[in-house]
């Protein structure tokens, strides 16, 4: 009883200026490990006949403590702000780092924009293709090396399926569903079974184009592609066409542009020739047109294909293909603002 009286006096002189100090009172006296619980635990030792009286004292003690706590709480209400760990909501927030477009997407978008202005639509298609859309329709013979497992990823559970090796498969799907005039470009990822190095990867990105109508000529092909590289690299760029071979075009040509690194004087990039290859092209093979029921005597067309990695390399001097897919922020952030 005496001890309780002493505690009461201790409580009465308890000083609290802040809400934290009022809380300290609660913990010390009323908390689960507080003094009140401790004193109540002593009930067991009280002889039976005194229990009732002691219980009353305890109840009164508890009410006393709660009353003081309530007073301290009222007195210090609103002092939380003064405690110093309050956030100032009027301050500006932390900057969120803004990402950059991937260089391959920057260049792909530039290519798409140029051809859009020439009336080309954009078509997309699946990355897993069947043999017909990727090879057969494109006039690739059964024994063509591209059809070998060494060069192409086949889906082992479904031998007729493969990862497309070019986006010609998308143009095949366009020709399947649409009669001429056809004017599309097909950007997308393609796969080849290559050992990864600075110059080769097991996937890369392409833009292929196709234009089929009456009276489409090789002169249209040349002038369109010349316009394209002038828009992409500048008016000063020179072009040359070299005869080439593709199973899906006849005649075929590869196009070179004057080296953008040394302006044609000769450097490592152009192997001291002053020219760099940027795309393959040709007049659509009559067999390809026939495969889609397009009459080759009425319609002609040109087609072309380019690697986006290669063009990005020439535009931004990226000299290792692996950089495109390593996600190294030091590489990627160099394209801030290159939109
Ligand atoms: C290259 C060469 C080329 C085509 C792609 C094509 C598409 C159809 C019909 C005929 Cl639907 N040809 N595409 C034509 C010539 C060359 O790509 O070196 N690409 C990176």
Q: What is the pLDDT of residues 271-319, one digit of tens each?
A: 899 999 999 999 999 999 999 999 999 999 999 999 999 999 999 988 8
Tokens matching residue 146: 């591209």
pLDDT exceeds cutoff 90 at 157: yes
Ligand 1 atom nearest to CA at 248: 10
Task: Identify the pLDDT of residue 88.
Answer: 83
pLDDT exceeds cutoff 60 at 214: yes
Q: pLDDT, tens digit, for every residue of 285-294?
A: 999 999 999 9
User: Of the residues 305, 311, 313, 314, which should be mutated to test ligand 1's pocket, given the most ligand atoms within 8 Å of the CB?
Assistant: 305
Report the C-alpha gap between 29 and 65 in whole angstroms: 7
Ligand 1 atom nearest to CA at 172: 11
Length of the chain in residues, anyone? Answer: 339
Plot region of 215 (φ>0 → left; ψ -120 to 50 → alpha; else → beta):
left
Tokens matching residue 87: 């956030």
pLDDT exceeds cutoff 80 at 339: no
Decide: 191 and 163 in contact? Cβ < 8 Å. Answer: yes
Report the C-alpha gap between 41 and 36 in whole angstroms: 9
Ligand 1 atom nearest to CA at 284: 10
Report the C-alpha gap between 169 and 165 in whole angstroms: 9
Global pTM value:
0.74
Query: Residue 308's closest CA among 155, 166, 158, 194?
Result: 166
Question: Residue 278 in 3-state DSSP?
Answer: strand
Q: pLDDT, tens digit, for every residue of 3-59?
A: 889 999 999 999 888 888 899 999 999 999 999 999 888 888 888 888 888 889 999
Task: Identify the pLDDT of residue 84.
Answer: 61
* Structural element, H or E, at residue 182: strand 182-191
pLDDT exceeds cutoff 60 at 87: yes
Residues 6+ apart with CB under 8 A from 243: 251, 252, 253
CA 135 distance to own-chain centroid: 30
- Report helix angle 2-12 to 48-76, nearest 10: 0
Ligand 1 atom nearest to CA at 305: 17
What distance in angstroms lies between residue 88's CA and the mean position of ligand 1's atoms? Answer: 61
User: Of the residues 165, 221, 246, 283, which should be mutated to test ligand 1's pocket, given the most ligand atoms within 8 Å of the CB?
Assistant: 246
Tokens matching residue 111: 């290519």
Task: Identify the pLDDT of residue 81.
Answer: 56
For ligand 1, which residues put their CB under 6 angstroms from it? 168, 171-172, 206, 208, 210, 246, 248-249, 280-282, 284, 288, 303-307
Report the C-alpha gap between 172 and 304 in whole angstroms: 14
Question: Residue 260 in 3-state DSSP?
Answer: coil
What distance in angstroms lies between residue 147's CA and the mean position of ligand 1's atoms? Answer: 16
Written as one string, the DSSP assignment of 43-63 is GGGS-HHHHHHHHHHHHHHHH
- Angle at the Cα of 169 from the Cα atoms of 165 and 173, rounded to 5 degrees: 165
User: Of the residues 165, 168, 243, which should be mutated to test ligand 1's pocket, given the most ligand atoms within 8 Å of the CB?
Assistant: 168
**Which residue's alpha carbon is at the smallest distance from atom 14 of ligand 1?**
304
Task: Identify the pLDDT of residue 82.
Answer: 52
* Structural element, H or E, at residue 131: helix 131-134
Q: Confidence band (pLDDT; 50, 70, 90) for 201? A: very high
Q: pLDDT, tens digit, for every residue of 95-137?
A: 888 888 999 999 999 999 999 999 999 999 999 999 999 999 9
Report the C-alpha gap between 147 and 161 in whole angstroms: 12
């Amino acid at each position: 009883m005496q001890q309780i009286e002493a505690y009461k006096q201790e409580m009465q002189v308890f000083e609290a200026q802040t809400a934290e100090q009022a809380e300290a009172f609660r913990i010390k006296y009323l908390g689960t490990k507080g003094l009140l619980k401790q004193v109540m635990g002593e009930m067991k030792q009280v002889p039976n006949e005194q229990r009732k009286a002691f219980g009353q004292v305890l109840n009164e003690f508890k009410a006393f403590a709660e009353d003081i706590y309530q007073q301290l709480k009222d007195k210090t209400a609103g002092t939380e702000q003064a405690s110093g760990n309050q956030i100032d909501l009027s301050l500006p927030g932390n900057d969120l780092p803004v990402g950059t477009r991937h260089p391959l997407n920057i260049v792909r978008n530039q290519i798409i924009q140029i051809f859009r202005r020439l009336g080309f639509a954009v078509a997309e298609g699946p990355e897993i293709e069947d043999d017909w859309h990727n090879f057969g329709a494109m006039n690739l013979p059964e024994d063509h090396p591209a059809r070998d497992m060494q060069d192409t990823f086949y889906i082992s559970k479904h031998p007729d399926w493969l990862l497309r090796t070019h986006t010609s498969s998308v143009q095949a799907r366009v020709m399947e569903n649409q009669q001429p005039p056809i004017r599309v470009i097909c950007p997308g990822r393609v796969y080849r079974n290559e050992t990864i190095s600075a110059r080769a990867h097991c996937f890369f990105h392409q833009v292929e184009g196709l234009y089929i109508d009456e009276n489409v000529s090789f002169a249209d092909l040349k002038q369109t592609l010349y316009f394209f590289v002038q828009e992409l690299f500048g008016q000063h760029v020179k072009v040359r066409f070299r005869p080439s071979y593709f199973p899906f075009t006849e005649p075929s040509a590869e196009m070179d542009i004057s080296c953008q690194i040394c302006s044609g004087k000769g450097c490592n990039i152009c192997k001291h020739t002053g020219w760099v290859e940027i795309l393959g092209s040709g007049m659509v093979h009559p067999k390809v047109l026939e495969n889609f029921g397009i009459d080759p005597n009425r319609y002609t067309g040109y087609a072309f294909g380019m690697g986006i990695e290669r063009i990005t390399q020439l535009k931004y001097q990226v000299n290792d293909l692996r950089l495109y897919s390593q996600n190294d922020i030091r590489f990627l952030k160099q394209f801030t603002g290159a939109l």
